[in-house]
Amino acid sequence: MMLAVLACLAGVGIWLADPLANPLSQTRVTQADSVPSPARPSPDPEDTKVPDPAVATNASVLKVTDGDTIEVTLDAEPGKEFKVRLLGVNTPETVDPRRPVQCFGKEASDYTKGILSGKRVRLDSDPQADERDKYDRLLRNVILEDGTDFNARLVSDGYAYAYLDFPLNPARKTLLRTLERQAKEAGMGLWAPGACP
């Protein structure tokens, strides 16, 4: 199952939760890791270590609005604030005035606040996705300083659904769809038995 995800990500270099290990452990996927080496049939402990902080950041998180929306300042435009909608993910609603707070919305919002509030991040666009949504929010992937793909982590940890109705890199769609399926199968977050009736 994981080989299918690894094969579609050859060369992408993304952090994934390993569904066979502790749900919070992470694995960095690179082209070299996409096909297991016959000389190394079991995972090497070095593969699950978080590397030294090396990701060049380009934004500071000022505020977390909800699980999938943040406010930032960009290094390229200091003093100007931008709303950012996380690309390819959808967390249950907590602030939409047209809807009541949805099941697991508060947990998703708190999860995002706990990880992103006040942090430096790298915002990556997807050339195949729109630049902004209909509310004029930037559409971005959020990468943490340690290289963790936060959008993917939201899905793999069960705090978000894969949101694939809009243009997005096909490999990215496959990844997010797979992570959602794995989170469901593992009963993570909103998929936990009894979490959301």
Catalytic sites, residue numbers: 85, 93, 137
Query: Which tokens belong to 166?
Result: 């809009």
Distance CA 32, CA 37 (A): 9
Q: What angle do CA 16, 116, 176 make, to 5 degrees?
A: 30
CA-to-CA dists, residue 139 to 42, 105, 189, angstroms = 37, 20, 24
What are the helix (H) ranges across 44-169? 105-116, 150-156
* Mode of pairing for the β-strands spanning 69-74 and 59-66: antiparallel
Q: Which of 58, 60, 81, 83 is CA-nearest to residue 70? A: 83
Distance CA 67, CA 86 (A): 9
